[in-house]
């Protein structure tokens, strides 16, 4: 495994339209759309390293702390007092990762500006609102929001099917979850379904949001490119998904404090992963 802190230089294999594009990636290909590069797991670690470097140059943890804790605190407090919503605490906390690609659009803009040698003051993150693709970003964001709601509905349905609709106190719910066969069944079924939701979101968003910040393309083009990048690079994209999952878990463990650091790093790293997976626009046009 490559050292995540070691800068690597690779020569990614470029997949040209009509030549080495194979099924099923060819199913979502449209003539003239961005060219996908074939990368390695070393490129994923390198993207993470660059994300850490961006975070050091543009520390935005204060912003995330000011946003994350009040919002999450209010939601969790409401859930705790509404016992009928207790089963949704974990699905909601885990499901926030489904909205991560949208939340990080300002970070993509900062990484883009740093790459170009432009002003990278934190306020410049809001310049993303003036990018040509902002309309497509909101449309794709609505899709992620719909997937998030669908995940909560599925999680609640699983709980209802296993435990029924009766409400319980936090202590009773924890006891049911950790000491009964039904609790084990809920954990297994819930995590399997949640994994499927996460795979879908990873496939459609691994490069789509950074691309919409970088280029004036449609949401459909960005999603197709993201799916193609995933299909042609299954191991690197799977590794990236694992890094995101572990990072969010570690960040959430100390009462969510770590998320103020983990989220910006993952956001910046996503930009660099996009740069490695998709051939630059000028190069694509020349070819």
In the chain, domain spans: 52-286
Asked if 197 and 98 touch (Cβ cutoff 8 Å), the reply is yes
The mean per-residue pLDDT over the stretch 132-138 comes to 93
Asked if 105 and 209 touch (Cβ cutoff 8 Å), the reply is yes
If residue 159 lies in a helix (H) or strand (E), which one and from where to where? helix 134-163
pLDDT digits (tens, 9 = 90+) for 230-287: 999 999 999 999 999 898 888 777 666 777 788 889 999 999 999 999 998 764 443 3
12, pLDDT greater than 90 = no
Q: Per the structure block, which two tokens stand in for 184? A: 């084990």
pLDDT digits (tens, 9 = 90+) for 39-86: 999 999 999 999 999 999 988 766 665 565 556 655 655 655 555 666
More confident residue, 8 or 227: 227
How far apart are alpha carbons 129 and 212 in whole angstroms?
Answer: 11
How far apart are alpha carbons 46 and 213 in whole angstroms?
Answer: 21
Determine the 3-state secondary structure of 278 from DSSP.
strand
Q: What is the dihedral of CA 169, 77, 153, 231, to 10 degrees?
A: -120
Determine the 3-state secondary structure of 214 from DSSP.
helix
How far apart are alpha carbons 287 and 273 in whole angstroms?
Answer: 22
pTM: 0.81
* Strands annotated E in the chain: 13-15, 36-38
Range in 16-20, 26-30, 123-127, 135-139 with the lowest mean pLDDT: 16-20
CA separation (Å) from 106 to 60, 64, 68, 164, 238?
Answer: 10, 11, 15, 42, 24
């Amino acid at each position: 495994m490559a050292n995540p802190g070691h800068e690597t230089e690779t020569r990614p294999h470029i997949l040209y339209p009509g030549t080495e594009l194979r099924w099923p990636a060819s199913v979502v290909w449209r003539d003239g759309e961005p060219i996908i590069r074939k990368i390695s797991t070393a490129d994923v670690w390198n993207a993470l390293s660059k994300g850490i470097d961006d975070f050091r140059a543009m520390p935005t943890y204060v912003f995330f702390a000011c946003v994350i804790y009040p919002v999450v605190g209010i939601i969790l407090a409401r859930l705790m007092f509404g016992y009928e919503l207790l089963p949704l605490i974990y699905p909601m906390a885990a499901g926030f990762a489904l909205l991560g690609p949208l939340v990080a659009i300002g970070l993509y803009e900062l990484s883009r500006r740093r790459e170009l040698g432009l002003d990278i003051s934190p306020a410049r993150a809001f310049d993303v609102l003036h990018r040509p693709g902002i309309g497509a970003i909101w449309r794709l964001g609505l899709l992620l929001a719909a997937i998030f709601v669908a995940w909560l509905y599925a999680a609640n349905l699983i709980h209802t099917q296993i435990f029924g609709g009766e409400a319980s106190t936090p202590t009773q719910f924890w006891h049911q979850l950790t000491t009964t066969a039904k609790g084990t069944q809920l954990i297994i079924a819930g995590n399997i379904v949640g994994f499927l939701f996460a795979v879908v979101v990873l496939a459609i968003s691994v490069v789509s949001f950074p691309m919409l910040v970088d280029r004036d393309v449609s949401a459909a083009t960005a999603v197709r490119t993201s799916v193609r990048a995933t299909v042609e690079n299954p191991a690197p994209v799977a590794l990236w998904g694992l890094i995101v999952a572990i990072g969010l878990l570690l960040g959430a463990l100390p009462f969510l404090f770590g998320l103020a650091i983990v989220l910006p790093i993952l956001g910046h790293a996503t930009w660099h992963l996009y740069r490695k997976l998709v051939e630059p626009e000028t190069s694509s046009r020349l070819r």
